Structure 1
Amino acid sequence: MNSARASRFFSLVGLLLALVFGSTRPAAAADAAPAAPAPTSLKVATRIITPFVVKEGDRYTGFSMDLWKAIAAEMKVTYTIVEKPNVKDLLEAVHSKEADMGVAAISITSARNVEFDFSQPIYDGGLQVMVPAQSGDHAPLLSTVKDMFTADLLKLVGIFLLLMLIPAHLIWLLERHRGEDGIVGTKKYLAGILKTSWWSMATLATQADEMPKSYPGRIVATLWMFVSVVFVAFFTAQITTNLTVKSLQGDIHGIDDLPGKSVATTRGSTSEKYLADRGVKVVPVEKIEDAYELLQKKSVAAVVYDAPVLSYYVSHQGKGQADLAGPVFKRESYGIAVPSNSPLRKDINLALLKLKEDGTYEEIYRKWFSEN
């Protein structure tokens, strides 16, 4: 009897153990299930930023794009390009899952690390200052003249020279009948206009040696003298301003010389935040090419942006037009941005490591930066 009870007891215990271990096994198996595989057809967000991303027709090249092509080949994936105008829109495309990753010249920052994952650094850079090219000492006089007479100032002079014909015609009409007693001395149009035009210019320079004889002519002459005084004062002030701006630009030797000056950089970039935090007057633009144009027009005193981008511009398209001022500052690295917890990050890093080991990375780097 006792033996039968013991047998039933152990059978019951065995059944309970079987139920317990049988129910936990699937859960353990589920916990150990592998992560979802990375996709093999990708959308890559990018933006044009020479020399990292360059568009030639329908083809994309540049340091970052050439490196990504090598990474994609190593990962055995296909991809399509989603072009964005700036880094802000590029990152938004990655964040909203419109794109699987972002490839360009994307700075790795602590703020961005909150919303994105980044690959291992693909390039170590920083920020730098770019200013208009300083003329050599071999032609200081020519340089000063060029600084004084800007394109806008020359346009103003041209317009005023045309306006000088108005008092010249009025004086000719009012004085031509006075014969030798007047300042015209002839009724002929061409000869008379030449003489009154000379009078108009002489009055502008306060060197006129005679005045109209008729009362209406004297009224015109008085008004013209007043306009001339105003123009000469404005003209002098404009030249002084141009020389002052040039002097200020020439005083920029690095980041510490920028407070109080207008500086262009791209909207939403790390350089914009850095300048704003230092109290620099920032002129934000959508594309770095817009900043180059502002610098050429002398609408800003300097451009602050990624050092490799500015260095490439100075040695290529902007050669002779712009110079770098001071050393690289705010060192930062660029990486490939992917959404948080993306399975792509591990595969990208593994492919990048292989490319650095087999010399492919060095070959791509030399292609784009060896001349700099």
Structure 2
Amino acid sequence: MLFISLNLVRVQAQTVTSAASSTQASTPLSSRPLRVATRLIPPFVVQEQGSLTGFSTELWQSIAKQLKLKSKTSVSPTMPDLLAQVKSGRADLGIAAISITADRDKDFDFSQPIYDSGLQILVRDQSSGSNTMPGILTLLLSPIMLQFAGIILLLSLVMAHVVWFLERNHPQGIIENKAYFPGIFKALWWSAGTLGAQADEMPKSGVGRFIAIVWMFTGIAFVAYFTAAVTSSLTVQQLQGDIRGPDDLPGKRVATTQGSTSAQYLHGHGVQVQEVTQITQAYEALLKKQVDAVVFDAPVLLYYAAHEGSGKVQVIGSVFRKEDYGIIFQQNSPYRKSVNNALLALKENGTYDKLYNKWFGDKS
């Protein structure tokens, strides 16, 4: 009888344990929505009509669905801010385009890689800049050149009136007609020709000859200045076209974002870096010719060059400093293992490939 009673107790205990295990297995990872930190970085995180989308955004939504989790996403302005949110516990995890590095691994835990990436270089579209005529036209229409041309035009008018006044009453003067019209037109023609060292005749009066010599030297100086300006402009264009890879970056002005792996790489290779808070600011600096190139994550640059920057910029060279993206957690996070399992499941069932093809095209 005692033996039977002990067996009944054992069976009841196993039943209770099994029920408890079953209940625990069906319990969600968190009773509250997970706090997810991200940042806008197309095509990984894109804001459209007030809502977030993009490869990383949709990947996290698929992971959360797989784990039956609810989450609340907050957008950080910069990568350092995103990392700080996760490290301080204000966010449970971070996802965007976060590179897995040895330095970050000291302070955080990472998921399985979610994307294979690397750095690349963005420059202004050289197909138009390498053409000589557009470069010269840009120079001619620049504010400095227009101001200089205005001064020359004003001096030409003054010189024409001086010569007209001195020569109109001279018996053998170059201005045959004493009247203002059409005499001034002849004087203007002479003034323009002398400026280009193409004058057919010289004034007959002594003062007129002296003024003509001064004006001719002014013309020589103008031609020399114009030639030097054009040569300098075309040389700058040629130098910009010399950027073909990371080895060409030293000596160039390069923009990237603060706290990024690209900034770390550039500083480590002695490149003059202009750091900005948003990658869009780097694009703007490039288009305004404030920098010669932008170095950043390859997929981000390729997406910009194919969309907003189409016809204005181009990505050059091959990918360098290859790196992986991952989801970032606090160290010893209770969510990391479950997220990894869900991520692997999404890769196995084809969901990951569908998202990849949607945002980046067919892998093959």
Q: TM-score, normalised by structure 1?
A: 0.75
One-letter amino acid of the structure 2 residue matched with residue 144 of structure 1: T
**Distance in 1 of aligned mates of 2:123 and 2:194:** 41
Match runs of 1:157-176 below 5 Å: 157-171=145-159, 174=162
Corresponding residue to 1:310 among 298, 301, 309: 301
Structure-2 residue corresponding to 1:237:
228
Shift of 1:355: 1.7
Structure-2 residue corresponding to 1:328:
319
Aligned partners of 1:174 and 1:214 also within 8 Å: no
Is 1:128 equivalent to 2:116 in the alignment? no
Structure-2 residue corresponding to 1:100:
92
**Distance in 1 of aligned mates of 2:139 and 2:93:** 45
SS in 1 for 2:256: strand
Structure 2: 5+ residue runs without aligned partners?
1-27
Structure-1 residue corresponding to 2:361:
370
Aligned partners of 1:164 and 1:197 also within 8 Å: no
**Distance in 1 of aligned mates of 2:148 and 2:320:** 47
Is 1:50 equivalent to 2:42 in the alignment? yes
**Distance in 2 of aligned mates of 1:194 and 1:351:** 85
**Distance in 2 of aligned mates of 1:52 and 1:285:** 19
Count of aligned residue pairs for this structure pair: 332
Shift of 1:225: 5.8
RMSD of aligned C-alpha atoms? 3.4
SS in 1 for 2:47: strand
One-letter amino acid of the structure 2 residue matched with residue 237 of structure 1: A
One-letter amino acid of the structure 1 residue matched with residue 80 of structure 2: K
| 1:235–1:151 distance in 2 versus 1, CA, 3 Å | closer
**Distance in 1 of aligned mates of 2:227 and 2:95:** 51
Aligned partners of 1:102 and 1:336 also within 8 Å: yes
| 1:245–1:167 distance in 2 versus 1, CA, 3 Å | closer
Per mean C-alpha deviation after superposition, the further-off stretch among 345-354 and 220-229 is 220-229
SS in 1 for 2:103: helix
Is 1:296 equivalent to 2:287 in the alignment? yes
Shift of 1:102: 2.0
Is 1:80 equivalent to 2:72 in the alignment? yes
One-letter amino acid of the structure 2 residue matched with residue 83 of structure 1: V
**Distance in 2 of aligned mates of 1:222 and 1:127:** 60
Structure-1 residue corresponding to 2:25:
none
Structure-2 residue corresponding to 1:143:
131
SS in 1 for 2:274: strand
| 1:274–1:175 distance in 2 versus 1, CA, 3 Å | same
**Distance in 2 of aligned mates of 1:285 and 1:196:** 56
SS in 1 for 2:41: coil
SS in 2 for 1:127: strand
Structure-2 residue corresponding to 1:23:
none
Match runs of 1:241-256 below 5 Å: 241-256=232-247
Aligned partners of 2:190 and 2:199 also within 8 Å: yes
Aligned partners of 2:110 and 2:336 also within 8 Å: yes
Structure-1 residue corresponding to 2:262:
271
Aligned partners of 1:263 and 1:282 also within 8 Å: yes
Corresponding residue to 1:63 among 55, 80, 88: 55
Shift of 1:133: 3.2
Structure-2 residue corresponding to 1:154:
142
| 1:101–1:155 distance in 2 versus 1, CA, 3 Å | same
SS in 1 for 2:322: strand
**Distance in 1 of aligned mates of 2:47 and 2:214:** 58
SS in 2 for 1:131: strand
Is 1:109 equivalent to 2:101 in the alignment? yes
Aligned partners of 1:66 and 1:364 also within 8 Å: yes
| 1:222–1:254 distance in 2 versus 1, CA, 3 Å | same
Shift of 1:187: 5.8
**Distance in 2 of aligned mates of 1:90 and 1:223:** 67
Q: TM-score, normalised by structure 2?
A: 0.77
Aligned partners of 1:167 and 1:220 also within 8 Å: no
Aligned partners of 2:29 and 2:69 also within 8 Å: no
Shift of 1:269: 0.9
